[in-house]
Structure 1
Amino acid sequence: MTHWLALSLKGLRRDLRAGDVRALFVALALAVAATTMIGFFLDRLDRGLTRQAGQLTGGDIKLEQGEPFDDALRASLREAGLTLSDQVDMVSMVSRSDAFQLASLKVVDAAYPLYGEVRVDRGDGVEALARGPEPGGVWIAPRLAQLLDVTLGETVRVGASELAVTGLIEREPDQSAGFSAFSPRLMMRRTDLEATGLVRPGSRIEYELLAKGPPGAVAAVSATLERLAAQGVRVVDVRDDRPQLGSALERADKYLSLAGLAAVLLAGVAVAMATRRYVDRHLDTAALLRCFGASQRKLATLFAWQLLWLALAASVAGALLGMAGQAALLALLSRFLPLELPPPGVLPLLLGVLTALAVLVGFAGPTLLRLKRVSALKVLRRELDPLPAAAWLVVAVAGLVFGALLWLYSGDPALAATLLVGGLVALALLWGLGWLLLGLMLRAVKAFGGGERQGGWVRAVRLGGSQLARRRRASLGQLLAFAVTFAAMAIITLVRGDLLTTWQTQLPADTPNFFAINIQPAEREGFVELLDAVADTRTALYPMVRGRITAIDGRSPEAAVPEDSRGDNALRRELNLTWQTEVPEGNRVVAGEWFAADAGQAGGDGPVPISLESGLAARLGVGLGDTLSFTIGSERVTGRITSLRDLDWDSFRPNFYVIFPPGVLERYGHSYLTAFHLDAAAHGDVLARLVRAYPGVSLLNVDAILGRVRELLDQVTRAVELVLAFVLLAGVSVLYAALTASHAQRAHESGLLRVFGAGGRLISRVQGVEFALLGLTSGLMAALLTELAAFGLYHWLALPPRLHGLLWLVLPLGGALLIGAIGHGLSRGVRRQAPVTSLGLLGEG
C-alpha cells in the first residue's frame, strides 16, 4: 500500500506541469472557496445567534402585546425565580427648534438591561453601562443627534416633554434588526413616558415584559406561557425557539448557499472537461502498468489516491481563499448585524473538503472508469481505447451528486428536487438550442465572404466558425456553462436595479410620502383642516382599532389554520381594524358582496359582516361564511366573512386586512391615520407646523424609510455579487478546462494550418474568432435565459413584464469580448508550438 501511495504522489508531482491537472486544481479550489466562504459566514452567524440569544431578545423570555401587562402575571413570574424588566416600544416624532425627525422610542425601566451592557458616550468617551438613562434624560443614536443638530446637554422635545440629551448610544445589547431599526433610536426612562402624552387610546404601542433566569425557572412557567400564547400574547422563548435576524435574512442564507452552489456546478463542469484530457493522457500509462501486472483494482487505487491528494491540496487553497472571502462578506454586511460574531469554526472547512470530493466523484468518476478498463494490448494497438462513458451516465451521476449537495446546503429536499428537475429540463432545452445555433453558425460562416478574393479576417471567420461548429459536442458543454454564468450575473443586475426602478416608476408623482398616525378623535377636524392647507394630496382619514385574532370558527387559531400558517405574523400580533361604509380606494372585491352601510347597527349577539383581504384568507385557510373572533382590550367581537378583497400594497395608501361596517368598533378606543404627499422643498416648514400643533401625532417619512431600504438592498446585493464573482471565476475555469481538454485537437488543427501555408497572424485570428463566436453564442443563450427568469420574477412581483433590449446587446458583445480575450490569451502556447510537435499530438485525443 505504501508503494502505491508513493507512486501516486510521484505521478501527481509530474502531472502538475500538465494543463489538465492545473485546471482540475483551479476548479476544485474555486468550488471549495465558494462553499467555505458562505459556510464560514453562515456558521459564524448561526453560532453568534446561539451564543448571544439572550442579548438579541433582551431576556430568556420575551412577552409582547398592545396593552400593559397586569401585576398578577409579574408576581407569578417573580415567584418562579425570574428577574423582570418592562419596556415600551413605539415610533414618534422628536424635535429640536425647527428640526424634526421620526425616531424609534425605547422606554426602559431601572432593571434594564437584563443581559449585556449599553455602550454609550456621555462626554468622556464610550463606556459600558449596565443601566439605561436617568429620569429626565434621554440617550440618542448619533444619527439622530446629527439629524437634529443636537449635542450633549441640550434638550429635545418628545411629545409634550422637554428631555435632556445625556448620552450617545454606540451599541445596545438587544439592538433590534427589524424594520424599527430604520428610524434612529431614542432611549428614555419609563417614569418619563406619561408626561410626554404619547400614550393615548388607539396609539400604536408595543408593551414588552422581559424575564431572565436559570433554565429551571424558565421551564417552571411553561404552562403560563402556553396560556398567554393562547390569549394572543406573543411569547418568545429563546431556549425553544432560537431567534433569527428575520425571515429576509433566512432567505438570504439560502440564496447565498444556492449562489455558491452555482459556482460548484460550473466547477464541476470544468472538472468533467479536464478529466477527459487527464484520462486520455494516462491511457498509455495505465496500459503499461497492466503489462507490468497491475490489476484493475490497483489501477483504480493508484489514480484515486493521486486525485485525492489533488483534492486535499485544492481544499487547503480554497479554504484560505474562502476565509478571505467571508471576511469581505462580513465587512459588507457588518453595519446591519446587531451582534459580534465568533471566530470561524471547522465545520465549513470539512464541508468544503466534502464538496471537493463529491465534485470529483460525481463529475469525474464515470470518465475515470476508462483508466480501470484499459487493456494491456493498447501498448501495441493504439486504437484499443476503452469506450468513453455514455453522456447520459455522466449527466445522471453528476446530477445525483449535485442534487445531494443542493439538499445538504439548502436543507430543503423539496427545493433541491425542484431545482434539480428544473435544471435538467432547462439543460435539455438549452442543449437543443445550442445544437441549433451551432448548425446555423456553420451555414452562416460557409456563406460568409463567398467571393474568390477573401481577406485575412474573412478567412479567419470562416475557419474559426467552422472549427467551432464541427467540434459541436465539446462546444455545446462550453456554451451551456457560459450561458448559465452570464445569465446569473445579468439576473443579479436586474434584481439590483431594474426591478426596483420599475417598481418606483410605476408609482404616480403624487404618491403619498408621509403617514400620519395616532390622530385622536378630538384632533381629527383640526388636523385635517391644517393638513389640507399645506399638503399636495391626501387620502381619506381612516379610523383604527387594534385587535388580535383569538378564534377562527370557534376554535383556537393554531388548531384552525393549516400547519404551515401557524406561525403567520397576523396571528402573532394585533391587527389594525377599521370600519368603512364603502369599499376603500385601491381595494377590489373579488369574492362575496360588500356589506350594507347599516349592517353593524342591526343589533343582536350574532357575528357581524366583515371584509377580509384575500391573501390573508388564503394563508389562514378561511373563506366566505367563516367567522373570526377578535379580542379588543378585554372584550371579544366576532365577524363573519362576507367578502374578500385584493389590495394594492404598492400604492403607499392605508390598507387594512379586516374592515367592519360602521356601528361595531366605535365604542372602543381608537385613533385615525391618513397618508399625504408633500413637496420635498416644503418638508421642513410644514412638518414643523404640524408637530407644534399636534405633538402626539406621529409622522412617518416614507421617503426616508425607502432610502434605508435601498441602502440595505445595495449592501446585500454587493455581498451576493461577491459570491457571484466566484461564479464568474468558475466560468473562467470552465474555459481553461475546455482549452486543456481540446489542447491536442487545437494543436493538431494549428499544425495543419501551418503545413498548408497559414501564418501566425491568421492562426491567431482564427482562434480569436472561434472564442469570440463561442462568447457571442453563449451571450445570446444567456439573454434568452435571463428574459425567461425575469419574466417569472416580474410575474411573482406583480410587475408588468417587458423586454430588455440592452440585455440582448450587452450579453452577446460582452461575452464575445470576455471569452474571446481570455481564450485567445490562454491558447498562446498552442500557436507557438512547432508544427511537427502539434501534428504528433493527433493520437492523444
Structure 2
Amino acid sequence: MKAVSLSLKGLRRDLRAADVRALFVALALAVAASTMIGFFLDRLDRGLTRQAGQLMGGDLVLEQDEPFSTALRESLREAGLTLSQQVDLVSMVSHAEAFQLASLKVVDDAYPLYGQVRVDRGEGIEALAHGPAPGGVWVAPRLARLLDIGIGDTVRIGQATLAVSGLIDREPDQSAGFSAFSPRVMMHRDDLAGTDLVQPGSRLEYELLAKGAPSAVASVQGRLDTLRDNGVEVRDVREDRPRLGGALDRAQRYLSLAGLAAVLLAGVAVAMATRRYVDRHLDTAALLRCFGASQRQLSTLFALQLMWLAVAASAVGALLGLVGQAGLLAILTRFLPLELPPPGPLPLLMGVFTALAILVGFAGPMLLRLKRVSALKVLRRELDPVPASGWVVIGVASLVFGGLLWLYSGDFMLSLGLLVGGELALALLWGLGHALLSALLWLVGGAAGGGRHGVRHAWRLGARQLARRRHASLGQLLAFSVTFAAMAIIALVRGDLLTAWEAQLPEDTPNYFAINIQPGERDGFRAIVDEASDTRSDLYPIVRGRLVAIDGESADAAVPVDEQGANVLSRELNLTWRETLPEGNRLVAGEWFDPASAASDAGPVPISMEEGLAERLGVSLGTVLSFDIGGERIEGRVTSLRALDWESFRPNFFVIFPPGRLETFSHSFITAFHLPDERQATVGELVSRFPGVSLLNVEAILEQVRELLGQVTRAVELVLVFVLLAGISVLYAALTASRPMRAHESALLRVFGAGDRLISRIQGAEFALLGIASGVLGALLAEAAALGVYLLWFDLPPRLHWPLWVVLPVGGGVSIGVIGHLLTRRVRRQAPMESLRLLGET
C-alpha cells in the first residue's frame, strides 16, 4: 500500500514534466488509434460484407439439383439464420402465337433477404421488399418486347396461365453468370406446381439463401463442410464474388496496416519519452537506494507509476476511439447508404491490450536502468547505471510489435517475415544513417564559408552540434526515419489502392454481355455494336466441353481430395480458341502456342490454362487433359498458365485452344461492350435484328461495385488522420527528450557571446539537417517496406515512387525544422543559469 501511495504521489508531481505528458499522449493515441480503427473496421467490414451479400442474395447460398430437406432448413433456422427458398429453371414462355425461351426465377415470401426489387407495376418504378404475388409474374422489359406484352397481359408458362403484374427494372441479387442470359421471369413459389415443369429428369436448380449474423454463419460451418463433401455448392461473398472479396480484403488489410503504423509510431514515441523519464528519475532512484530501497521495491514503484499512467491513458484513448468512430460514421452517414451493426467489445479490449503491450515492449527495457542505479550517484553525479543497450530495446520492442502484427493480420509467416525484414532493415538503417550523417555534416562543413554570424556559419555550427552528439543524433535519426517511412507507406498504399480500384472499374467498363451470337450473325452484330460503343471486347467463340480425364486417369480421381466433386468437374466448361494472348491475360508459366506445332495433328493439342484452376486441380505444365465435346474426345497438353483479370467485366476463359482444332464443333460467340446512356436504344435494335442473341445488362452490378468501392475509399482516406497524429507525437516526444541537452548547449553559447538570432539559426539548421537526413532514410525504408507489403499482403504490382525521394527529405527538413524551432523557443528565452540547471532536473 505504501508503494501504491508513493507511486500516485510521484505521478501527480511528474504530470508537470513534458516527457510524462508526451508519454501520456503517445499511449492515449495508441489506444485511440487501435480502438477507433478497430471499431470502424469491425462495423464497416460487417456492414460492407452484408451489402456485398446483396449481389448474391444472402450471406450464404446453397445450390443443388434437388429440394433441400426439412431437417437442413430447420437446423439453419435454429442457428439464427433467416431463409429464403428459390428455384431456377429455363422454360418456354408464350403469349398468343409468340414463344420465347426465358429464365424462370421462383421466389417465396421471404424474398429478397437483402435489398429491394425495382419494378414498374404501371405507376412508375417502385422499390419493393417482396416478389410477385401468387397468380402474377414480373418479366424483364426485353421479354416484354419480344412477346409484345405489357402489364395486365397474360403469359403461359408450362400448364399455367399467369398475369404480367410488373416489369423488372433491377434485381438486388442479379446474377452475372451465363445462366441468367435468357430474359427473366419472376414468379411466386406457390405457382410452380401448377406449371407442371417439375418432372423427373427436369433440369432445375434449387437454392437456399440464408441471412444472419457472422456468428450464426460461423456456427454452421461444420454442416456446410459436410454439404460440400456431398456435392452441394456453397457460396459466400468472398468465394463467389472475387472482385468484391478482393476489394474488401484489401480495405481490411489497409485499415489494419494503418492501425499498426499508428501503434508503431506511438510505440516509438513511448520509447523516446521513457528515455527522458528514466534520465530524470535516476537521482530519485539513487536517493531511495540511500534510504534502503531494494531493486525490487524500485521496480515496483516505477512500474506502478507507469501502470497508473497507462490506465489513465487507456481510458482517455478508449473514449477518444469510441467518439472518433462515431464521428467518422456521422461524417460518412450521407455517403454510406447501409446500416452498420453496433460496435462490439473486442476492439476496445484490443486497444487496451495494445497500449499495455507497447508500454512493456518499448518502455520496459529502459526501466532496467532505474533498477540498477547505485546509491553513490547522490555523491558522484557522473556515476550513471549502465544504460540498456539500444539493440535490447529494439529487439524487445520488435518482438512485441511482431506479436501485435500477428494478432492483427492473423498470418504468422507474414508477421515473421516482416519482423525479420524489419530487424535487418533497422540494422542496415543504423549503418546507413551513420554514413549519411557523416556525409551530410562533411558537406555542410565544406560548403560553409566565412563570416562568424551569417547563415552559413549557423549551418556549420548546427552540423557540429549533431556531430558532437553523434549517438543521440543517430537515435533521433532512426526514430524520425521510421516515422516518415510509416506515414509514407500509408500514403503510398492508399494512392496505389485507389489507383487500382479506379482502374478496376473505369467509366467505359463493359455494361452488357452478349452470348449465343451465331457465326452467321457475328459480322452484323459487331457492326451495330461498333457504331454505338467505343468499348467492345473481341468476339470469342465458345465450345462447351466437359473435363473427363487428367493424364489418362478419371478427372474425379486425379484431382486433390478436397476438389473431388467440385463444380468444375460436374459441369461443362466454356472452351475457346485464339491465336494471340487475350487482353487482360498474363502468362505466368510456359509459352504461348507455336503456330507450327499447334497445326500438327500428332499428339495432344497445346492448350493454355488459368493458373488458379490449374492449382486447384493439381495440373502443371505438361499435364494432358481430356475433354468430352459433343460425344467426341479431344486431348490437350498444358503448355502455358495464365493469370486473368477477373475484375475487368470482360469475357474470360479457363482453357484456351489454338486455332484449327475446335472450329468443327458447334459453337457460338460471346462479347462484352459498353453502351452509354444516350445509346441505350441500340439494345432494342439488337433484340429486333438478332432475337436469338441473349443480352445481359450488368449495369446494376457495376453500380453496386462502384458504390462499395467508393465507400471503402472514403474510409481509407480518413484513417490517415490518426497516423499523422501518431507521427507528430514521435516528433514531440523526441524533441522533448532532447530539451535539457539543447538548453544546456544554448546556455553555453549564450555565455560565450552568442545572441538569440544566432542560437535560433543554429538550432534551426540542426533540426533541418536532421530532418533532411531522416527524410532520405525514410524514403529508402518506405520503398523497401512498400515492396514487401505490395507483394506479400496486397497483391499489387510493385513500383518505384520517385516523388517520395523529393517530398520526404524536403518535407522532413521543413517539418522537423519548424516544429523543433517552435518547441525550443522557450529554451532560447531562458536565462543561462536556468538552462544549465535542466541537466540536473529531478
Shorter-chain TM range is: 0.7 to 0.9
Deviation at 1:113, TM superposition (A): 2.5
Provide Cα deviations, 1:542-588, integer angstroms capped at 9, x if missing partner: 2235677687554666983497xx69999599685223274555578
* 2:516 alignment counterpart: 519
| 1:49–1:782 distance in 2 versus 1, CA, 3 Å | closer
Deviation at 1:251, TM superposition (A): 4.1
- SS at 1:841's partner residue? helix
Residues 209-224 of structure 1: matches in 2 within 5 Å?
A: 209-210=207-208
- SS at 1:819's partner residue? helix
Equivalent residues of 1:787, 1:804 under 8 A apart? yes
* 1:622 alignment counterpart: 619
Residues 246-325 of structure 1: matches in 2 within 5 Å?
A: 246-325=245-324
Residues 417-456 of structure 1: matches in 2 within 5 Å?
A: 417-451=416-450, 453-456=451-454
AA at the equivalent of 2:86:
D
Equivalent residues of 1:468, 1:475 under 8 A apart? yes
Instruction: Note the residue ranges of structure 1 that are not aligned, 5 or more in a row.
Output: 91-104, 141-152, 156-160, 195-204
Residues 592-631 of structure 1: matches in 2 within 5 Å?
A: 594=593, 610-614=607-611, 616-618=613-615, 620-628=617-625
Equivalent residues of 1:135, 1:188 under 8 A apart? no
* 1:773 alignment counterpart: 769
Q: Does 1:752 align with 2:748?
A: yes
Equivalent residues of 1:40, 1:345 under 8 A apart? yes
Q: 1:656 aligns with which of 621, 628, 653?
A: 653
Residue-pair matches, total: 781
1:544, 1:245 → 2: CA distance?
A: 27
Deviation at 1:831, TM superposition (A): 1.6
Equivalent residues of 1:542, 1:578 under 8 A apart? no
AA at the equivalent of 1:772:
A
Deviation at 1:675, TM superposition (A): 4.4
Deviation at 1:28, TM superposition (A): 0.8
Deviation at 1:23, TM superposition (A): 0.9
2:798, 2:236 → 1: CA distance?
A: 44
Equivalent residues of 1:445, 1:465 under 8 A apart? yes
Deviation at 1:645, TM superposition (A): 4.5
| 1:512–1:109 distance in 2 versus 1, CA, 3 Å | closer
Deviation at 1:844, TM superposition (A): 5.3
Moved more, 485-494 or 720-729: 485-494
Equivalent residues of 1:120, 1:128 under 8 A apart? yes
Deviation at 1:58, TM superposition (A): 5.4
Provide Cα deviations, 1:808-839, integer angstroms capped at 9, x if missing partner: 33222222222222222222221222110111
| 1:502–1:10 distance in 2 versus 1, CA, 3 Å | closer
Deviation at 1:353, TM superposition (A): 1.7
Q: 1:728 aligns with which of 724, 730, 733?
A: 724
AA at the equivalent of 2:477:
L
| 1:493–1:381 distance in 2 versus 1, CA, 3 Å | closer
| 1:734–1:705 distance in 2 versus 1, CA, 3 Å | same
* 1:474 alignment counterpart: 472
Deviation at 1:410, TM superposition (A): 1.6
Moved more, 254-263 or 81-90: 81-90
Residues 641-680 of structure 1: matches in 2 within 5 Å?
A: 641-646=637-642, 649=645, 654-660=651-657, 671-675=668-672
Provide Cα deviations, 1:619-677, integer angstroms capped at 9, x if missing partner: 643124435577999x8977543422546749986442212576769767x64212457
Equivalent residues of 2:575, 2:654 under 8 A apart? no
- TM-score of the superposition, structure 1-length normalised? 0.76
| 1:88–1:791 distance in 2 versus 1, CA, 3 Å | same
- SS at 2:803's partner residue? helix
* 1:144 alignment counterpart: none
2:27, 2:207 → 1: CA distance?
A: 52
| 1:528–1:42 distance in 2 versus 1, CA, 3 Å | closer
1:473, 1:415 → 2: CA distance?
A: 33
Deviation at 1:737, TM superposition (A): 1.1
Provide Cα deviations, 1:420-443, integer angstroms capped at 9, x if missing partner: 011111112222221111111221
Equivalent residues of 2:543, 2:665 under 8 A apart? no
| 1:836–1:376 distance in 2 versus 1, CA, 3 Å | same
Give the alignment's Cα RMSD to 1 decimal: 5.6
AA at the equivalent of 1:470:
R
* 1:459 alignment counterpart: 457
Moved more, 574-583 or 283-292: 574-583
Equivalent residues of 1:260, 1:724 under 8 A apart? no
Equivalent residues of 2:608, 2:641 under 8 A apart? yes
Provide Cα deviations, 1:186-222, integer angstroms capped at 9, x if missing partner: 997236999xxxxxxxxxx995611679999x99999
* 2:196 alignment counterpart: none
Moved more, 718-727 or 430-439: 718-727
Q: Does 1:544 align with 2:528?
A: no
Residues 104-183 of structure 1: matches in 2 within 5 Å?
A: 107=105, 109-113=107-111, 129=129
Equivalent residues of 1:460, 1:765 under 8 A apart? yes
Equivalent residues of 2:550, 2:625 under 8 A apart? yes
2:564, 2:465 → 1: CA distance?
A: 59
Equivalent residues of 2:772, 2:809 under 8 A apart? yes
AA at the equivalent of 1:85:
Q
1:221, 1:5 → 2: CA distance?
A: 50
Equivalent residues of 1:430, 1:781 under 8 A apart? yes
* 1:158 alignment counterpart: none
- SS at 2:640's partner residue? strand
AA at the equivalent of 1:27:
A
Q: Does 1:34 align with 2:33?
A: yes
Equivalent residues of 1:519, 1:671 under 8 A apart? yes
Equivalent residues of 1:74, 1:84 under 8 A apart? no
- SS at 1:842's partner residue? helix
Deviation at 1:10, TM superposition (A): 0.8
AA at the equivalent of 2:353:
L
Equivalent residues of 2:536, 2:672 under 8 A apart? yes
* 1:827 alignment counterpart: 824
2:376, 2:273 → 1: CA distance?
A: 26
Residues 47-126 of structure 1: matches in 2 within 5 Å?
A: 62-64=61-63, 69-70=65-66, 85-86=85-86, 107=105, 109-113=107-111
Equivalent residues of 1:26, 1:733 under 8 A apart? yes
Deviation at 1:744, TM superposition (A): 1.2
1:53, 1:647 → 2: CA distance?
A: 25
| 1:409–1:459 distance in 2 versus 1, CA, 3 Å | same
Residues 528-567 of structure 1: matches in 2 within 5 Å?
A: 528-531=526-529, 540-545=538-543, 554=553, 560-561=559-560
Equivalent residues of 1:267, 1:730 under 8 A apart? yes
Q: Does 1:409 align with 2:408?
A: yes
Deviation at 1:762, TM superposition (A): 2.1
* 1:96 alignment counterpart: none
Deviation at 1:715, TM superposition (A): 4.0
Equivalent residues of 2:483, 2:730 under 8 A apart? no
Q: 2:803 aligns with which of 806, 816, 822?
A: 806
Provide Cα deviations, 1:262-291, integer angstroms capped at 9, x if missing partner: 211111111111111111111111111112
1:707, 1:258 → 2: CA distance?
A: 28
Q: Does 1:815 align with 2:812?
A: yes
Moved more, 778-787 or 546-555: 546-555
2:473, 2:87 → 1: CA distance?
A: 65
Deviation at 1:527, TM superposition (A): 1.7
| 1:188–1:388 distance in 2 versus 1, CA, 3 Å | farther
Deviation at 1:303, TM superposition (A): 0.6
- SS at 1:617's partner residue? helix
1:416, 1:748 → 2: CA distance?
A: 43
Deviation at 1:770, TM superposition (A): 2.1
| 1:211–1:179 distance in 2 versus 1, CA, 3 Å | closer
- SS at 1:840's partner residue? helix
| 1:213–1:429 distance in 2 versus 1, CA, 3 Å | closer
1:333, 1:108 → 2: CA distance?
A: 37
- SS at 2:575's partner residue? strand
- TM-score of the superposition, structure 2-length normalised? 0.76
Provide Cα deviations, 1:725-779, integer angstroms capped at 9, x if missing partner: 2222122111111112111100101111111222222222222222222222222
* 1:386 alignment counterpart: 385
| 1:448–1:60 distance in 2 versus 1, CA, 3 Å | closer
1:775, 1:573 → 2: CA distance?
A: 63
